[in-house]
Amino acid sequence: MGYFTHTLMIEIKNISKKFNHIVALNQVSMQIVRGEVAAIVGDNGSGKSTLIKMLTGDLFPDTGEMVVENKSYRHLTPRKAMELGIRVVYQDLSLDNYKNSAENIFLGEELTQGPFLAKKRMLAEARQLLNHLQIQIPDLSEAAGNLSGGQRQGVAIARALRKDARLLILDEPTAAMGMNETERIFRMLQQVKQEKKTMLIVSHNLLQVFDIADRIFVMKAGRCIADVLTKNTNPYEMHTMIKEGL
């Protein structure tokens, strides 16, 4: 697999999870290499979302362990995941629609000057970060609820990266977006990739995955049935694997 020439950031070892009689994850193992973009693909109900929630500490596995930068954990908590630099941008983005872009980027970690909010400084830093990511939002004072889907996604990603994301997890980053906005988001993600940021992208869109991912994990019925380098496969093979298994 070529892992031994790279540094692992996270190793998932034999993770299993049941909800009553339903097996959500069945002995799942994965290795996420620092500086790579990995993707998880699979149909609804394959276990993708459950696995993400293990990494963010929102769910605890029944069995197995996670090794994060050479330290083993029986499970993570949301606080520990944050400490380890694991950041997730879910489909709903978790933005406050009544706050502007800068306020959302600094949400919960607002900058202050004495007893007051340092609004000018937050605006300046937000603008610098958004420009760096090539996210076009002309008016940062505009409420997030009035932004386009791509702009909102950009704000959510900027917030995650500002908080020192050592692993950035993106759950269906272009869901319900049009072609132009999808293209802009993936240009931005290519920029993040060039900076050797470790990313894990969950997506139904195989063509998007092949545009950006170095490695693809295929989930089916709670199992990880394949771990392949993107350069060694193609969308047709991946589609067949998702539908029919190995």
Go through the domains of the chain in sequence order and give each one's CATH number: 1-85+166-246 (3.40.50.300), 94-164 (no CATH)
Lowest mean pLDDT segment, chosen from 47-51, 175-179, 210-214? 175-179
The whole-angstrom separation of Cα 6 and Cα 197 is 14
- For residue 112, the tally of other CB atoms under 10 A from its CB is 10
129-182 pLDDT tens trace: 999 888 889 999 899 999 998 899 999 999 999 888 899 999 998 887 788 888
**Closest C-alpha to 209, from 233, 225, 226, 191:** 233
| Residue listed under structure tokens 């306020």 | 103
User: What pLDDT is recorded for position 246?
Assistant: 62
Helix, strand and coil content of the chain, in percent to the nearest 5, comes to: 35, 30, 35
The whole-angstrom separation of Cα 12 and Cα 30 is 5
Which tokens belong to 125? 């830093």
pTM of the complete model = 0.90
Half-sphere exposure of 183 (CA within 13 A, CB side): 3
User: What pLDDT is recorded for position 1?
Assistant: 46
User: What pLDDT is recorded for position 175?
Assistant: 80
Amino acid at site 125: E
Geometric angle at alpha carbon 49, from 46 and 53, rounded to 5°? 135
Query: Please, what is the end-to-end C-alpha distance for the chain in angstroms?
Result: 17
Mean pLDDT, residues 39-43 taken together:
94
Across the chain, what does the average pLDDT equal?
90
Kindly give, in sequence order, each residue whose CB lies less than 8 Å from that of residue 110, ignoring residues fewer than 6 positions away: 103, 117, 118, 122
- Is the pLDDT at 4 greater than 50? The verdict is no
Q: Of 109 and 170, which is predicted with more confidence? A: 170
Which tokens belong to 54? 């293990």
What is the percent of the chain with per-residue pLDDT over 70, rounded to a whole number? 97
| Residue listed under structure tokens 């990880």 | 224
**Closest C-alpha to 89, from 221, 185, 209, 7:** 185
